[in-house]
Structure 1
């Protein structure tokens, strides 16, 4: 059986504005952030679970048990239960409102004992949420990153103390103490109370409508300390109708999407502008399906079909992580060859589909990023570059310790050329970023170190542009011995960045046409068939080549004197028609045909899974980590485009 969730921790609050993180502060290798779980065992948990075969308590026990199975051996986790020691009669209220029991203090987890305690719990009493929060917080250290995860199916029935007031008290104990609340089939009043707790402690609130969604939500919440992908952005709700789609300004937004939805978002584009629309879906470990798709399409003013789409596919979504599709629209740029109806200023609508071919109700976060590049009114900068940079000499010297982030938003900055290293744990996807100015290119490779008798897993690396376009990737199997990616011995590399690179037929060149932060991703998949409490060393060798040069001279949108851009010979996005639809990328995520990735190891490992029916153990590390204050950019990270008028 696939172990669906890894470790217990928390996610930080959703950013209210478009922002990206600075390099995170390094944390000691292997250091775990302590977590206290608070489980509702009040009488209301005896109600039948909608669509399930048991009670809400049964569903909660299964979710917690699955989570405990995946905890790293060194995880520091405690558990408190409220409502299990009394009945719910009026005569028992005084005792019931003091009924908060610490089942396990915060210590190195004893999985068997913890599961036995949860299994033996019976729901029966009151709901003293405020008192339970105080008890849980008292079990945690007084400083450093620490979290409380609260699962409740209703509001407090014992106030005072009011749970929101307790949350404010906890916040005064330090910004590194967060409470993350999950409302299990709650009504509006209980939802508001639980959300207030999360908001006042910098935590997050999540709804769970049934047993399956509780598993999914609990998985996402508890993964935060494992450096999972933490989605951020200004909240937005895409519509089901393209004509009522919310109009976005350049920035980053956060929505949710299920496998059968179409979500629409609009942007007012002016003459000469180029739009980069990115949709990043974030999947929990133990995702219900292996294959996930993110499809983005565009229509012009009045609903005109622009016959352009971008579609990416992930075949290992059960490992968790993210999947991004980026649609680039340059139909308003001077010299564009796009259809007339899609070459005029006005409202353009982007349709995001997670997967129209598979059923399901599980929702996942989706980051929506809109970047708008103004027209070039002066020099176009250097001529297009065709040659990829490389290692002038084999990287050597000391390896600089780093600590990666778990998302584009928290990517750790690598300071140019050098060797960087840390420990990667099974199931982790690590993000780094390197700044490239105009005229500079990047080459890198990733070495996954050997661990004798290390579990078998998939490994992957990928390079993304500042607009999140996937430039190139490589995947193979890790079986315990040292493995280097790319596996052909050549580094993944870009040409020197130049504005005119966008006209190249080669995607690696074409997608290296903006300056800014380029993202390096290293992923170690979940282990096949056995527990994996330890990690393995990973080293990233990086070379930045070229000197900074003058870039394109941007002007204001709508300027009729804009310098014509040569008609592209290829597009980042795929033209499509009602009859045909090209451009599907296959793999995890499989690169375009000029990439050197091989899908064979994935296929072989898939066969091993089917034939042997082995389980996938997810074991990762919980970091002590204080999120840094992010800088903001008018149009995106590291990009000096003029602020849009």
Structure 2
């Protein structure tokens, strides 16, 4: 409102100046009047720009809205398979999940592709959840037989935040062979004392084509499973995104941001075929408050299709604490045949997501913060060529690390909605500056012309 009042005052001053110029000018319509009209147009555009950019966007590390993909298509889940809306590989969707609901979404699949559907549950900030609350996601064939089952919960912190689980149709598995109709079932799990609020859902569907040659389907090879040494060096500031679509890229190094209790940060790390990722998260010390917070920080790793790979958490009593992901194997196609989740999840190259959540309950003992969170990211090993796909994935290039991905890890650019907001902010500030400069030039020109035309 302060900016609005300032603009109103500016208009009143400009109005008095316009009247003075007109009384001094000779004749009827003068160049001054045209300049004044142009100034009015510029000022109107400037006011519109200020209106667009004047509302501060909430920081990614603050409790607030999840950053959905701007391209999400709104769909409703169905209570039975007969009315299930079809999800297409390569698509992203937005839906909702009421308390106690079990919703179906449909797929028409070929006989050779592996297909992954990730479901991100987004409870409202401030809602009450239990440690065991969350979602169950399963892939089912047309006969209703389950292919895969996975779940995601909010954990010991009992703090509402985005969590994701994935359903998989692996074409080579006996229960899910053949082309035809398949269904994803999303079930909500609630404790008796949890809030009845409806949760948001974001769904993504990804297809992975078959390989051009056999020989890469052997069991995983031995790899160095010793805990790698954490990356050292001075931390660099890099603000996280507010959702998967707006995850901010980081590479090997030490990265830092501030997070308020209840806030969640999203990052992505390009990891190529043959490379090995390791991550440690640190929660900095605070001088205020006392006590102990269970599940104060949660670090989750998701693969390029938003499938859960591993997670680590830590308690907090005011001093600096750290938590590391389990040692992860180098990214290889054959990892999918492992029976260990944090190994089988490292099955393809691409952008791996790091999601850091600071429990809302931390504020009860240590205040509102914000608290410094540091990520130590290591990417070891030399990249090599992929296994050789027979066709393109949907979406394209999702199982690749491109030159742009590597550049983004250096510069810290993100994707989706968060990038759009950054562009809008820069455009608003830059455009406002240009308009102000133009306004000044036109005003000075109008004054010189008025002085020349005066008696």
1:468 aligned to 2:306? yes
1:423 aligned to 2:243? no
Which residue matches 2:38?
Answer: none
Map 1:494-513 to 2 at 5 A.
494-513=328-347
Which blocks of at least 5 consecutive residues in structure 2 are unaligned? 10-44, 393-417, 425-455
What CA distance in whole angstroms lies between the structure 1 residues aligned with 2:185 and 2:7?
Answer: 44
The question of whether the paired residues in 2 share the 8 Å contact of 1:424 and 1:536 is answered with yes
What CA distance in whole angstroms lies between the structure 2 residues aligned with 1:321 and 1:505?
Answer: 28
In the comparison of the two structures, how many residue pairs are matched? 354
Which residue matches 1:329?
Answer: 169
Deviation at 1:270, TM superposition (A): 0.2
Deviation at 1:380, TM superposition (A): 5.5
Deviation at 1:445, TM superposition (A): 0.6
Deviation at 1:236, TM superposition (A): 1.4
Deviation at 1:516, TM superposition (A): 0.8
**Partner-residue secondary structure (3-state), 1:627:** helix
The question of whether the paired residues in 2 share the 8 Å contact of 1:260 and 1:357 is answered with no
Deviation at 1:360, TM superposition (A): 6.1
**Partner-residue secondary structure (3-state), 2:270:** strand
TM-score where L is the length of structure 2: 0.69
Spell out, residue by residue over 1:63-96, the C-alpha distance to the aligned partner (whole angstroms, 9 max, x if none): xxxxxxxxxxxxxxxxxxxxxxxxxxxxxxxxxx
Deviation at 1:353, TM superposition (A): 1.3
- Pick the aligned partner of 1:447 from 282, 285, 298: 282
Spell out, residue by residue over 1:600-630, the C-alpha distance to the aligned partner (whole angstroms, 9 max, x if none): xxxxxxxxxxxxxxxxxxxxxxxx9962579
The question of whether the paired residues in 2 share the 8 Å contact of 1:422 and 1:539 is answered with yes
Which residue matches 1:627?
Answer: 421
Which residue matches 1:399?
Answer: 235
The question of whether the paired residues in 1 share the 8 Å contact of 2:115 and 2:168 is answered with yes
Please identify the structure whose Cα radius of gyration is greater. 2
Map 1:211-230 to 2 at 5 A.
226=63, 228-230=65-67
What CA distance in whole angstroms lies between the structure 2 residues aligned with 1:414 and 1:390?
Answer: 24
The 1:390/1:437 distance shift into structure 2, 3 A limit, reads: farther
Map 1:428-439 to 2 at 5 A.
428-439=263-274
Spell out, residue by residue over 1:253-310, the C-alpha distance to the aligned partner (whole angstroms, 9 max, x if none): 1001111222211111101111111111111232133242201123213x33235322
Which residue matches 1:101?
Answer: none
**Partner-residue secondary structure (3-state), 2:127:** coil
What CA distance in whole angstroms lies between the structure 1 residues aligned with 2:94 and 2:167?
Answer: 17
Which residue matches 2:389?
Answer: 554
What CA distance in whole angstroms lies between the structure 1 residues aligned with 2:84 and 2:6?
Answer: 43
Alpha-carbon RMSD across the aligned residues, in angstroms, is 3.5
Q: Which moved more, 1:522-531 or 1:320-329?
A: 522-531
The 1:170/1:298 distance shift into structure 2, 3 A limit, reads: farther
Which residue matches 1:275?
Answer: 115
Map 1:80-159 to 2 at 5 A.
none
Which residue matches 1:176?
Answer: 53
1:521 aligned to 2:355? yes
The question of whether the paired residues in 2 share the 8 Å contact of 1:261 and 1:356 is answered with no
- Pick the aligned partner of 1:311 from 147, 151, 163: 151
Which residue matches 1:85?
Answer: none
The question of whether the paired residues in 1 share the 8 Å contact of 2:62 and 2:262 is answered with no
**Partner-residue secondary structure (3-state), 2:76:** coil
- Pick the aligned partner of 1:249 from 85, 88, 105: 88
Higher relative contact order, structure no. (Cα contacts within 8 Å, ≥ 6 residues apart): 2
What CA distance in whole angstroms lies between the structure 2 residues aligned with 1:271 and 1:178?
Answer: 50
What CA distance in whole angstroms lies between the structure 2 residues aligned with 1:528 and 1:177?
Answer: 29
What CA distance in whole angstroms lies between the structure 1 residues aligned with 2:188 and 2:352?
Answer: 25
The question of whether the paired residues in 2 share the 8 Å contact of 1:297 and 1:351 is answered with yes
Which blocks of at least 5 consecutive residues in structure 1 are unaligned? 1-35, 37-104, 107-133, 140-167, 180-202, 204-220, 558-623, 631-645
Deviation at 1:320, TM superposition (A): 2.1
Deviation at 1:231, TM superposition (A): 2.8
1:493 aligned to 2:327? yes
TM-score where L is the length of structure 1: 0.50
Larger helix share, 1 or 2 = 2
The 1:481/1:317 distance shift into structure 2, 3 A limit, reads: closer
